[in-house]
Structure 1
Amino acid sequence: MQIWAGRMLAALGVLLVIGLLPWLTRTDPARTILHARYADRAPTPDALAAIRAEAGLDAGPLRLLGAWAAGVAHGDLGTSWVSGQPVSPDALAALGVSLTLMGVSLAVAALLATALGCRTLAAGARGTGRKRPTARAGALGAVLAALPEFLLAAVLATLFAVRLGWFPPLGWGGDEPVATAVLPALAMGIPAGALLGRLLDDALPGAFAEEWVRTNVAYGVPPLRLARHALRRVLPPLLPQFGFVVVGLTGGAVAVETLFAIPGLGGTALKAALAQDLPVLQTCVLLLLALGLAVGAGVRGVRRAALGPALDAGALPALRRPHLPPSRALAWSAGLLAALLAATVACGMTRDPLHVDTAARLAAPGAAHPLGTDALGRDLLARIGHGAARTALTAVAVAAVTLVAGVALGVLTRWTEGLREVVNALPPVIAGLVVAGIAGPGALGAAAAVAVVAWAPLAAHTAALFEQERAAAHVEGAVALGAGRWHLLRRHVLPGVLPPVVRHALLRVPALALALASLGFLGLGAEPPAPEWGRMLSENMPYAERAPWAVLAPAAGLAVVGVLAVAAGTLTSTARGNRTPRAPRVPREGEAG
Structure 2
Amino acid sequence: MRSTVGTLLWRVALGALLVCGIGLLPWLSHTDPARTVLKARSADRDPSPEVLADIRAQLGLDVGPLRLLGQWLGGLPRGDAGRSWISGAEVMPGLLQALGISLLLMAVALLVAGCTAALLCARTLRTGAPRRTAGSVSAVLAALPEFLTASVLATVVGVQLGWLPALGWYGPRWTVLPALALGLPAGAVLGRLLGDLLPGAFAEPWALAAAARGLPRRSIARQALRRCLPGLLPNLGLFVVGLTGGSVAVEQIFDIPGLGRTTLQAALAQDLPVLQAGTLALVLLAAVTTGVTRLAARRLVGPALRDGALSSLHRPRPPVRRRPHLLYGVTLFAVVALGLPRDPLALDTTTRLQPPSLSHPFGTDALGRDMLARVAHGALDTLALALGISAAALLAGVVLGLLPRFSGPLVDTVNALPPVLAALLVTAVWGSGPLTPALAVTAVAWAPLAAHTSALLRQERATLHLTATRALGAGPWHVLRHELLPAVLPPVVHHALLRLPGVALALASLGFLGLGAQPPSPEWGLLLAENQPYAERAPWAVLAPAAVLALLGALAVTAAGWGRRRPRDRKAEESVSQRSPRTSELVASR
TM over 0.5: yes
Asked if structure 1 preserves the Cα contact closer than 8 Å seen for 2:267 and 2:428, the reply is: no
Structure 1 residue 291, shift from structure 2 partner: 1.8
Aligned counterpart, 1:104? 108
Question: Which amino acid in structure 1 is aligned with residue 373 of structure 2?
Answer: A
Question: Which amino acid in structure 2 is aligned with residue 195 of structure 1?
Answer: V
Question: Which amino acid in structure 2 is aligned with residue 278 of structure 1?
Answer: L
Residues 182-261 of structure 1: matches in 2 within 5 Å?
182-207=176-201, 217=211, 220=214, 222-250=216-244, 252-261=246-255
**Equivalent position to 2:311, from 317, 341, 357:** 317
Aligned counterpart, 2:168? 171
SS in 2 for 1:365: coil
Amino-acid identity (%): 54
1:532 and 2:536 matched: no
Q: 1:408/1:157 Cα in 2 relative to 1: closer, same or farther (>3 Å)?
A: same
Aligned counterpart, 1:282? 276
Structure 1 residue 542, shift from structure 2 partner: 1.7
Question: Which amino acid in structure 2 is aligned with residue 137 of structure 1?
Answer: A
Structure 1 residue 51, shift from structure 2 partner: 1.0
Q: 1:205/1:388 Cα in 2 relative to 1: closer, same or farther (>3 Å)?
A: farther
Residues 80-119 of structure 1: matches in 2 within 5 Å?
80-119=84-123
For residues 189-235 of structure 1, give each alpha carbon's deviation from its aligned partner in whole angstroms, at most 9, with x where no partner exists.
Answer: 12222233233334445545656655555555544344334333433
Structure 1 residue 550, shift from structure 2 partner: 1.9
**Equivalent position to 2:534, from 536, 539, 543:** 543
For residues 443-467 of structure 1, give each alpha carbon's deviation from its aligned partner in whole angstroms, at most 9, with x where no partner exists.
Answer: 554223113234567878999x99x
Q: 1:6/1:159 Cα in 2 relative to 1: closer, same or farther (>3 Å)?
A: same
For residues 149-175 of structure 1, give each alpha carbon's deviation from its aligned partner in whole angstroms, at most 9, with x where no partner exists.
Answer: 3443344345555566654443335xx
In structure 2, distance between residues paired with 1:120 and 1:353: 48
Asked if structure 2 preserves the Cα contact closer than 8 Å seen for 1:143 and 1:560, the reply is: no
In structure 2, distance between residues paired with 1:121 and 1:394: 43
In structure 1, distance between residues paired with 2:150 and 2:87: 30
SS in 1 for 2:256: coil
* CA RMSD across the alignment: 4.3
Aligned counterpart, 2:580? none
For residues 232-284 of structure 1, give each alpha carbon's deviation from its aligned partner in whole angstroms, at most 9, with x where no partner exists.
Answer: 34333332221122233235412222233322112222222233333222222
Aligned counterpart, 1:389? 380
In structure 1, distance between residues paired with 2:313 and 2:399: 20
Asked if structure 1 preserves the Cα contact closer than 8 Å seen for 2:150 and 2:250, the reply is: yes
Aligned counterpart, 1:21? 25
For residues 364-414 of structure 1, give each alpha carbon's deviation from its aligned partner in whole angstroms, at most 9, with x where no partner exists.
Answer: 222222222222222222222222233346446656766786798789888
**Equivalent position to 2:336, from 328, 345, 358:** 345
Asked if structure 1 preserves the Cα contact closer than 8 Å seen for 2:360 and 2:370, the reply is: yes
In structure 2, distance between residues paired with 1:397 and 1:433: 21
For residues 463-493 of structure 1, give each alpha carbon's deviation from its aligned partner in whole angstroms, at most 9, with x where no partner exists.
Answer: 9x99xx99xxxx9999xx9999x99xxx9xx
Residues 257-336 of structure 1: matches in 2 within 5 Å?
257-322=251-316, 324-327=318-321, 330-331=322-323, 333-336=324-327
Aligned counterpart, 1:585? none
1:139 and 2:136 matched: yes
Once the two structures are overlaid, the 10-residue window that deviates more, 335-344 or 17-26, is: 17-26
1:149 and 2:143 matched: no
Aligned counterpart, 1:591? none
In structure 2, distance between residues paired with 1:379 and 1:278: 39
Aligned residues: 557
Asked if structure 1 preserves the Cα contact closer than 8 Å seen for 2:117 and 2:187, the reply is: yes
Once the two structures are overlaid, the 10-residue window that deviates more, 513-522 or 100-109, is: 513-522
Asked if structure 2 preserves the Cα contact closer than 8 Å seen for 1:369 and 1:381, the reply is: yes
Aligned counterpart, 1:375? 366
Asked if structure 1 preserves the Cα contact closer than 8 Å seen for 2:27 and 2:65, the reply is: yes
Question: Which amino acid in structure 1 is aligned with residue 89 of structure 2?
Answer: Q
TM-score (norm 1): 0.79
Q: 1:534/1:122 Cα in 2 relative to 1: closer, same or farther (>3 Å)?
A: farther
Q: 1:211/1:248 Cα in 2 relative to 1: closer, same or farther (>3 Å)?
A: same
Please, which runs of 5 or more residues in structure 2 have no aligned partner? 471-475, 573-590
Aligned counterpart, 2:543? 552
In structure 2, distance between residues paired with 1:235 and 1:536: 40
Please, which runs of 5 or more residues in structure 1 have no aligned partner? 582-593
Aligned counterpart, 1:520? 511
In structure 1, distance between residues paired with 2:169 and 2:191: 29
